């Protein structure tokens, strides 16, 4: 990327992430199906596997998951400037929308149609995240051992109240250990 | 200088809140208490708006709190303050990963990391599904290692039972549409989100 074309690329990055910000209802997890469509399928800026990696790291590093993931993807596409621009893009719609709502409609969340529309959207987000997980499963659970890691972390995530950091660190160590044993056996 | 203070408070929030937007809540509560910019009730209202408007919840919260404290410039400063630590940390992590790209240990770590990441997202998905489609709540025990798996049934739940029947019906239809109906399943996720919003309004999903 050089000169004018670099500027254009950053502009595309900004708008793509701004668009995804508008389409995200909920937290970072709600952004996952949108990222799969826009970043993996449409733009080809990252693979499904890389997205999984970014979510793993994004959950155990400081900050909002959506921002951490945006910075990762932007950095891969356009270096340091790309990381910053992608993040500015993803937060841009929030700043505009919240400023308008906070300034004009103080009881926005109490409006009946807003509550009803959001209750419908929540159901949809459930289904979209479920579909996203199924998609990730195909890329991340590649054998019996990765299936065991998946189910252990899934159960742990539901029933244990511990930081995701422990699961991520534990799984990374397990990966290294399992692969080492494999090499020794061979 | 309120902008400097806003930036600093949100920089700290972005730096110390690990695990996503909801993890920032206790920090935002503390900011409200120490500065008097907003009360706990204000914060809960802001959370409700942040959840029901487009954009990641964590960003919406930062923007809203910043706006409450110092108008539109406050919204911008608070949001930039909150994302700055993320940008710095992730850029460093990305650079480190890049330089260890060909290291087999990193490769092996990701072999274990990917299913774990999917498991964590799956757990978050399960929590959301339970919250939205049922009246079952996994009671979290703050501070303890163990989250008691006690299931509390809300007798006063809409539609009386454990299941949010209208929600389950819509979820079933969406599941079929997004996975098995040719041509429809390839549509952009936002189409289904829009459709669900309309269904929610028409059928009064929130019961109001």
The domain segmentation of chain B, as residue ranges, is: 2-99, 104-156, 164-208
Is A59 in Cβ contact with B19 (below 8 Å)?
A: yes
Q: What is the rounded distance in angstroms from the CA atom of residue B12 to the CA atom of residue B18?
A: 11
What's the DSSP call for residue B184? T
What mean pLDDT is predicted for residues B173-186?
A: 95
Which pLDDT tens digit goes with each residue over A87-111?
Answer: 999 999 999 999 998 888 777 888 8
pLDDT of B134 higher than 90: no
Which of B12-16, B61-65, B152-156 bottoms out in mean pLDDT, i.e. has the lowest? Answer: B152-156
B116 vs A110 pLDDT, higher one? B116
Q: Give the pLDDT confidence of A9-37 residue by residue, as tens digits.
A: 999 999 999 999 999 998 889 999 999 99
Q: Which residue of A lies nearest to B67 if distances are taken between CA atoms?
A: A99
| Cβ pair A109, B48 in contact under 8 A | yes
Residue A131, pLDDT score: 95
Predicted local confidence at residue A60, as pLDDT: 86
Three-state SS for B56? strand
Q: How far is CA B26 from CA A88, B18, B21, B32, B40, in A?
A: 24, 12, 11, 10, 10
Structure-token pair, residue B162? 């454990």
Output the average pLDDT for chain B. Answer: 86
CA distance B40 to chain A (A): 16
- B129 to chain A: closest CA residue: A126
Beta strands in A22-181 (DSSP E): 25-26
Residue pointed to by tokens 């710095």: B88
Under a CB-based contact definition with an 8 Å cutoff, are residues A118 and A111 in contact?
A: no
- CA distance, residue B52 to nearest chain A CA (Å): 6
pLDDT in tens, B64-88: 999 999 999 999 999 999 999 999 9
What pLDDT score does B137 carry? 63
For B161, residues 6+ apart whose C-beta sits below 8 A from its C-beta are: B135
The DSSP letter of residue B24 is G
Residue A3: predicted pLDDT: 67
B177-181, Cβ contacts within 8 angstroms, sequence gap of 24 or more:
B178/A127, B178/A128, B178/A131, B179/A131
pLDDT of B143 higher than 60 = no
Look at residue B50 and give its three-state secondary structure: helix
| Banded model confidence at residue B138, pLDDT cuts 50, 70, 90 | low
Predicted local distance difference test score (pLDDT) of residue B153: 46
What angle in degrees, to the nearest 10, is found between the helix axes of A3-23 and A28-35? 120
Selected for mutation to probe chain B from A17, A21, A67 (highest B CB count within 10 Å) is A67
Q: Which residue of chain A is at minimal alpha-carbon distance from B192?
A: A124
Contact of A168 with A59, CB cutoff 8 Å: yes
Q: What is the pLDDT along chain A (186 residues), one digit of tens a residue?
A: 556 788 999 999 999 999 999 999 988 899 999 999 999 999 999 999 999 999 999 988 998 999 999 999 999 999 999 999 999 999 999 999 999 988 887 778 888 999 999 999 999 999 999 999 999 999 999 999 999 999 999 999 888 878 888 899 999 999 999 999 988 877
At residue B136, φ and ψ (nearest 5 deg) are -85, 130
How far B130 CA sits from the closest chain A CA (Å)? Answer: 9
Please name the member of B49, B86, B111 whose beta carbon is closest to the beta carbon of A71.
B86
Q: What is the pLDDT of residue B135?
A: 74
CA dihedral B33, B17, A18, A124 (to 10 degrees): -90
Assess contact for B56 and B14: CB atoms under 8 A: no
- pLDDT tens-digit map of B40-57: 888 988 888 898 899 999
Phi-psi region of B53 (alpha: psi -120 to 50; beta: other; left: phi over 0): beta
Which residues contact residue B67 at a Cβ distance below 8 angstroms, ignoring those fewer than 6 apart?
A: A98, A99, A102, A103, B74, B75, B78
Residues 29-68 of A with CB under 8 A from B: 29-34, 37, 49, 52-53, 55-68
Question: Over the stretch B3-25, which tens digit does the pLDDT of each residue have?
Answer: 999 999 999 999 988 877 888 98
| Residue A163 vs residue B187, higher pLDDT | B187
pLDDT of residue B146: 37
List beta partners, residue A62.
Answer: B18
Contact criterion met (CB < 8 Å) for A128 and B53: no
Q: Which residues of A touch B107 (CB under 8 A)?
A: 179
Q: What is the mean pLDDT of residues B119-146?
A: 73
């Amino acid at each position: 990327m050089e000169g004018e074309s670099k500027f254009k690329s950053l502009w595309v990055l900004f708008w793509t992430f701004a668009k995804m910000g508008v389409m995200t209802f909920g937290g970072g997890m709600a952004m996952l199906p949108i990222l799969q469509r826009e970043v993996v399928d449409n733009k080809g800026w990252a693979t499904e596997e890389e997205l999984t990696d970014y979510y793993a790291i994004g959950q155990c590093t400081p900050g909002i998951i959506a921002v951490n993931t945006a910075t990762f993807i932007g950095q891969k596409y356009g270096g340091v400037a790309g990381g910053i621009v992608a993040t500015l893009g993803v937060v841009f719609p929030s700043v505009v929308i919240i400023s308008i709502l906070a300034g004009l409609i103080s009881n926005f969340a109490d409006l009946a149609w807003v509550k009803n529309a959001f209750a419908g959207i929540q159901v949809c987000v459930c289904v979209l995240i479920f579909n996203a997980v199924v998609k990730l499963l195909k890329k991340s659970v590649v054998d019996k051992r990765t299936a065991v890691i998946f189910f252990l972390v899934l159960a742990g995530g539901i029933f244990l109240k511990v930081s995701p950091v422990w699961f991520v660190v534990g799984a990374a160590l397990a990966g290294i250990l399992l692969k080492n044993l494999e090499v020794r056996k061979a | 200088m309120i902008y400097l203070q806003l930036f600093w408070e949100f920089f700290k929030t972005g730096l110390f809140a690990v695990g996503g937007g909801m993890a920032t809540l206790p920090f935002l509560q503390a900011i409200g208490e120490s500065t008097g910019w907003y009360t706990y009730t204000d914060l809960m209202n802001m959370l409700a708006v942040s959840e029901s408007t487009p954009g990641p919840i964590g960003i919406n919260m930062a923007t809203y709190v910043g706006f409450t404290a110092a108008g539109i410039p406050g919204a911008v400063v608070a949001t930039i303050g909150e994302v700055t630590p993320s940008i710095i940390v992730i850029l460093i992590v990305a650079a480190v990963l890049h330089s260890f790209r060909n290291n087999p240990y990193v490769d092996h770590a990701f072999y274990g990391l990917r299913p774990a990441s999917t498991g964590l997202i799956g757990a978050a998905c399960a929590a959301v599904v339970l919250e939205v489609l049922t009246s079952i709540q996994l009671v979290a025990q703050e501070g303890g290692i163990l989250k008691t798996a006690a299931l509390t049934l809300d007798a006063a739940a809409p539609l009386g039972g454990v299941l949010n029947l209208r929600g389950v019906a819509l979820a079933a239809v969406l599941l079929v549409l997004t996975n098995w109906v040719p041509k429809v399943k390839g549509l952009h996720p936002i189409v289904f989100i829009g459709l669900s919003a309309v269904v929610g309004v028409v059928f009064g999903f929130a019961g109001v």
